[in-house]
Structure 1
Amino acid sequence: MGGSSTPGDKNHARSRDDSESGCRVGALHSANMSPANSKGAAFFDLDKTVIATSSALAFGRPLYHGGLMGRRDVLKAAYAQLAYLIAGADEDQMARTRDYLAQLCRGWEVDQVRQIVAETLGELIDPYVYAEAAELIAEHRAAGRDVVLVSASGEEMVRPIGLLLGIDDVIATRMVIQDGRYTGDVEFFAAGPAKAEAMAEFAARRGYDLADCYAYSDSVTDLPMLEAVGHPTAVNPDRALRKAAVERDWPIAVFKYPISLRRRIAALRGKPAIPVTAITVAGAATAVVALWWLSRKRKRSRLAA
């Protein structure tokens, strides 16, 4: 379905020639990227598409301080996420990552996880929302579309991020919960083809034709998600997705200006806002930072001893 682009798609990003691939690449520009005014839904991947970080890894440190993860757990989780990102569309790697992270969460109190996420959301996520993504989300909402956040991260993390962005609908990984704790089993893993299937179910419930819907992602693992809709866009794509987007003549957008939503709201209201330096932190880079942070902390501990 997403195999061809419409004239509207061709204007969906401010275009420039890319010296390496010759594809259309551009940052969001509201003057010529505004979605047509029609009902439907816009599905946004989260990491590196809406936010310039990995949502799962961002909460690793507070979960560690909250006593839910040991140092070894944080290291292994960072490695698992890094391996997942490097492996691309390898289904075996996705399954191993899913199973490891599910077992890592076994026995955690769900309310404690929600509390930690709520307490640290402003610090860990808010400053890293791409301004271009926030603007595009607002344009889709103004056009009367449902906006849906789609992520392989856990629902307890994704839903609060959605609310921060003014998004009520999310498709995220759901863990099995019993007596207020995670059992270590996965009810639904929102990755690969499962994302596209969940999107189709959502569209059917709302009475939308996926041909009228939009989707945005950075990873080739989300190729099924992009192919499911009539208006796909690759955002900050990895090498494999960039190649697929060029082959399918899909728009390619570059988002690179993270800004705090609170600062953005203040600016829109005419209040002074301190400029935010653009910081692009890819999910893989975040994993490396997590490894560096733990090794540095371990070194300080040895020195203190």
Structure 2
Amino acid sequence: MPGLSAGSAVPELEQALTVPAQPDAAAFFDVDNTVVVGASIFHFAKGLAARKYFSTSDLRRFLWQQVRFRTGGEAHNNIASAQESALAFIAGKSVAEIVAMSEEIYDETIAARIYSGTRALAQLHLDAGERVWLVTATPEELARIIARRLGLTGALGTRAEEQDGLFTGRLIGELLHGEAKAAAVRDLALREGLDLAQCAAYSDSINDIPMLSLVGRPVAVNPDSALRDEARRRGWEIRDFRTGRKAARIGVPTALVTAAAGGAVAGGLAIGRRQERNRGRT
């Protein structure tokens, strides 16, 4: 039989190496402390503040509201307060400018804070022909940047209204948290024709029990103490990619660590301004 020419062999080789898509399977990943070390919104806010896009008082006020929300639980007034603070933080700001600067902040800060273990888990799903989505309370524009940079399918996040290229300060829908996150996953599964029994979900937080309970393969990643206990009780997988000192902090609310870091950032910015003023007087 005559041999195949090099040109005719290439399509056959490409076909042999192509992983068939799994149209009814997907994986859903929370972001903060699951994919990214710490709170992604803090890293972005810190980068914007360093560019003097927000004032120090804006940053302090935002961080304080987030601490109250994260440590106060999911009571309606806490969620409403978190929504209002997040919207006040971006109201009147240019969508294009924030997205452009956030791309830079990803390269400067976020890229080095991606958990390599979680990234590998996401890649396993992609290699199996499955779609991979981020599902997070982080603003959707920022979540999409992270998803795109990691080569994922897409992202679902908290949506802020835009008008004439500016954020209006109003929310579209509700904060993507708890039950709202689970509802978003159900809606996505319906649109995309996914079988949730064939899907996986990954999170670090007890607040994501609704999303984790939807899928056939729930996985606790870097879990807080409450989720670790619940995962053990239900027989769910547990993956911990923290090491040493970080792993020992399982029971410490992330918001408290974020708040401390935020205080340091705000203090550093204030010190920098005082030094500039002092140099101007000499």
* CA distance in structure 1 between the aligned counterparts of 2:153 and 2:259, rounded to whole angstroms: 28
* CA distance in structure 2 between the aligned counterparts of 1:169 and 1:222, rounded to whole angstroms: 19
Deviations along 1:21-64, whole A, 9 cap, x unmatched?
xxxxxxxxxxxxxxxx8941100000100111211000112322
- The reply to whether residue 224 of structure 1 matches residue 210 of structure 2 is yes
**AA at the equivalent of 1:87:** G
**Over aligned residue pairs, what C-alpha RMSD do you find?**
2.3
Instruction: Report the structure, 1 or 2, having the larger helix content.
Output: 2
Partner of 2:234: 248
Asked if 2 retains the 8 angstrom alpha-carbon contact of 1:52 and 1:279, the reply is: no
- The reply to whether residue 163 of structure 1 matches residue 148 of structure 2 is yes
Asked if 2 retains the 8 angstrom alpha-carbon contact of 1:38 and 1:143, the reply is: no
* CA distance in structure 1 between the aligned counterparts of 2:121 and 2:177, rounded to whole angstroms: 23
* CA distance in structure 1 between the aligned counterparts of 2:108 and 2:51, rounded to whole angstroms: 16
* Equivalent of 2:261 in 267, 289, 299: 289
* Equivalent of 2:93 in 92, 108, 113: 108
Asked if 2 retains the 8 angstrom alpha-carbon contact of 1:68 and 1:108, the reply is: no
* TM-score of the two chains, using structure 1 as the length reference: 0.75
Asked if 1 retains the 8 angstrom alpha-carbon contact of 2:219 and 2:238, the reply is: yes
- The reply to whether residue 298 of structure 1 matches residue 270 of structure 2 is yes
Residue 244 to residue 91, structure 1, CA distance change in 2 (3 Å): farther
Asked if 2 retains the 8 angstrom alpha-carbon contact of 1:40 and 1:208, the reply is: yes
* CA distance in structure 2 between the aligned counterparts of 1:209 and 1:39, rounded to whole angstroms: 5
* CA distance in structure 2 between the aligned counterparts of 1:167 and 1:278, rounded to whole angstroms: 30
* Larger CA deviation: 65-74 vs 162-171: 65-74
TM-aligned CA deviation for residue 290 of structure 1: 1.6
Give 1 or 2 for the bigger CA radius of gyration: 2
5+ unaligned residues in a row in structure 2: which ranges?
Answer: 1-21
Residue 302 to residue 65, structure 1, CA distance change in 2 (3 Å): closer
- The reply to whether residue 136 of structure 1 matches residue 130 of structure 2 is no
May I ask how many residue pairs the two structures share in their alignment? 250
Partner of 2:31: 46
- The reply to whether residue 211 of structure 1 matches residue 197 of structure 2 is yes
* CA distance in structure 2 between the aligned counterparts of 1:200 and 1:130, rounded to whole angstroms: 26
* CA distance in structure 2 between the aligned counterparts of 1:196 and 1:60, rounded to whole angstroms: 26
Partner of 2:178: 192
* Equivalent of 2:167 in 158, 164, 182: 182
Asked if 2 retains the 8 angstrom alpha-carbon contact of 1:49 and 1:255, the reply is: no
* TM-score of the two chains, using structure 2 as the length reference: 0.81
